[in-house]
């Protein structure tokens, strides 16, 4: 699957992938550090959503959200936690 989401700073992709791997591993998923995007297949399998490599045009928006929501939501929570921690140090 190609990455369709745009990052404001493209050079940040590597660090965002590291964050995704760490966050998802912390909540109990088996994450390949070199390919953290594969965690979405584990989530889809848990939810009985038919996600496959390649084209997934038959997925509903609701199904896609159930897969991506836990990933993005937990990443955002961690980024907020990191920002709050950084602010308290200053």
Residue range 75-84, pLDDT digits in tens: 999 999 999 9
**What DSSP element (H or E) covers 29?**
none
Instruction: Answer whether 0.95 is exceeded by the pTM.
Output: no
Q: Does the pLDDT value for residue 8 go beyond 60?
A: yes
Spell out the domain ranges in the chain.
10-89
pLDDT tens digits along 20-57: 999 999 999 988 888 888 999 999 999 999 999 889 98
Backbone angles phi, psi at 10, to 5 degrees: -55, -30
Q: With 50 as the cut, is the pLDDT of residue 10 above it?
A: yes
Helix residue spans in the chain (DSSP H): 13-26, 39-46, 61-89
Instruction: Give the three-state DSSP class for 10.
Output: helix
pLDDT score of 6: 75
């Amino acid at each position: 699957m190609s990455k369709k989401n745009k990052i404001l700073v493209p050079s940040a992709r590597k660090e965002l992938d590291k964050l995704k791997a760490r966050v998802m591993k912390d909540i109990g998923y088996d994450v390949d550090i070199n390919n953290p995007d594969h965690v979405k297949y584990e989530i889809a399998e848990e939810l009985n959503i038919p996600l496959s490599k390649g084209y997934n045009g038959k997925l509903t928006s609701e199904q896609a959200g159930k897969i991506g929501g836990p990933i993005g939501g937990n990443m955002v929570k961690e980024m907020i936690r990191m920002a709050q921690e950084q602010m308290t140090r200053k």
